[in-house]
Amino acid sequence: MRTKQKMPPQMANGSAKLPTWVDIGLLPLINVALAFVVSGLLIATLGQDPFEATWIMLRGAFGYEESLGYTFYYTTNFIFTGLAVAVAFHGGLFNIGGEGQAYIGGLGVAIACLALDQYLPFGLLLPICVLAAALFGAGWAFIPAYLQAKRGSHVVITTIMFNFIAASLMVYLLVNVVIKPGQMSPESREFASSAWLPYMHEALAWFGWEVAQSPLNLSLIGALVCCVLVWGLIWHTRWGYEIRAVGANAEAAVYAGISPSKIIILAMCISGALSGFVGINELMGVQHRLLLDFAAGYGFTGIAVSLMGRNHPVGIILAGLLFGALYQGGAELAFENSAFSPDLIVVIQGLVVLFSGALSYMLRGPMERLYLRLRPPPPPPIASVEA
């Protein structure tokens, strides 16, 4: 730092401030639009009609009840993993391990279900499973967190490695331990129905509202509750205050009597617990058994969701919805037209991540200049404004 050029204060504070609606509303929309334009060009070079493809994707994601159910079901997972990344991010930690934490969280759910589903009713089993998901997810995040806090091992490296460890561990357990005897596929036995989280279409039917069947289940409500809790935690409790303090300026946090090691562990454990809830949605909600690879990249996509949602629960819901729609609409597109392989859908998702995540500040400069041109600057500061 010492050799860095000294910048005048005006530069140090960054340049012009964009109004909030441009910053968190318009810019992400333009970024997503750009991603779709490039995707459209790509589709066109494959000899397909991009407008038709867009239409199929939109209809596939939102067009009818069943598709909406699927979209929201994916969204549920993205909200959990997106929130997980966001909590860690506020503490200045980049938790890449959502995938493994979700996987191990699911293991906790499965252990609880397999052990207790014969004895306990749903009402008792559910809180135990939620707790198990949180504990196992948090536990898997705790080790990298501890290594970061006490030994200085970078959490990005360790969480990535822990994804692989989780995957290997699950293969071992499913093949050797929890596999249902006498079958070839590495899956546990099916949970008893007392461990099944009601589907949304079932729940709505209790109120006399008949909707089409889909994997969407009551986890969505849990995800929305988590959004409120995370919002409250981060901005309205002293633990959130301490997490943000450590994330924004660890030195000032130490000055304020906050222990960064404790906060790193706290933030990572909350993060891991949130990832673990993917296990509730997937195993109790849909699969009703433990199986391989049920986390299916939700943990990784959560990074993009959180990034795009600016680490705020509301943004994460919206970004989760976008990625849910991409997953579901993309699946529909691949189903309708064999020219669109699932890989192409992944490319489109990748473009969205690229433009709204990695390049999210690309348009900021031009946007600021445009904004300044459209709106002339307020009168320059005069002497009396100075304190």
Partner 1 sequence: MTAAGSSTSSAFPPAIELRGINKHFGPVQANRDVDLTVPVGTIHGIVGENGAGKSTLMSILYGFYQADSGVIEVGGQVCPIHGPEYALAAGIGMVHQHFMLVDIFTVLENILLGAEGGALLGPGMAAARAEIARLEADYGLEVDPDALVGDLAVGLRQRVELLKALYRGANILILDEPTGVLTPQEAERLFEILTAMRDRGVTIILITHKLQEIMAITDNVSVMRAGQMVAHRETAQTTREELAELMVGRQVLLRVEKSAADPGDVVLHADGLSLIDDAGVLRLDGVSLDLRAGEIVGIAGVTGNGQSELLEVLSGIRPPSRGRLSVHDRVIDHDHPCEPEEMRDLNLAHVPEDRQRMGMISAFAAWETAILGYHRDPAYTGPILLKTDAIVEDTDGKMDRFDVRPANPQLTSDSFSGGNQQKLVLAREIERRPDILLVGQPTRGVDIGAIEFIHRQLIEMRHAGCAVLLVSVELEEILSLSDRILVMFEGRIVGEVAAADADAQMIGLMMANAHETENAAANG
The interface with partner 1 within residues 223-242 (CB under 8 A) comprises 232, 236-238, 241-242
As measured in angstroms, the least distance from the Cβ of 306 to partner 1 is 17
Minimum CB–partner distance for residue 1 and partner 1 (Å):
9
CA distances in angstroms from 220 to 79, 217, 341, listed in the order given: 9, 6, 29
Binding flag, residue 6, partner 1 (CB under 8 A): yes
Per the DSSP assignment, residues forming a β-bridge with 199 are: 217
Q: What track of x and - describes contact with partner 1 for positions 322 through 361 (by CB under 8 A)?
A: ----------------------------------------
11 binds partner 1 (CB under 8 A): yes
Query: Are 193 and 289 contacting, i.e. CB atoms less than 8 angstroms apart?
Result: no
**Longest alpha-carbon distance in the chain:** 85
Of 46 and 228, nearer to partner 1 (C-beta) is: 228
Q: Which residue lies nearer to partner 1 by CB, 8 or 123?
A: 8
Burial of 142 (0-12, 13-18, 19+ CB in 10 A): middle
**Residue 252 touching partner 1 (CB under 8 A):** yes
Q: Choose the binding region for partner 1 from 39-47, 70-78, 170-178, 374-382 (rule: CB under 8 A).
A: 374-382
Minimum Å distance from CB 304 to partner 1?
23
Residue 88, both tokens: 């860690």
Q: Which of 123, 181, 208, 378 binds partner 1 (CB under 8 A)?
A: 378
Whole-angstrom CA distances from 193 to 30, 54, 160, 198, 287 are 46, 39, 35, 10, 12
Q: What tokens appear for 328 in the block?
A: 């579901």
Among 244, 288, 289, 312, binds partner 1 (CB under 8 A): 244
How far apart CA 377 and CA 157 sit, in angstroms, is: 45
Contact status: 261 vs partner 1 (CB under 8 A): no
Residue 69: exposure state from Cβ atoms within 10 A (0-12, 13-18, ≥19): buried
Q: Please answer whether residues 260 and 250 qualify as being in contact, where contact means their C-beta atoms are separated by less than 8 angstroms.
A: yes
What residues line the site for partner 1 (CB under 8 A)?
Answer: 2-6, 8-11, 13, 15-17, 232, 236-238, 241-242, 244-245, 248-249, 251-257, 368, 372, 377-378, 380-387
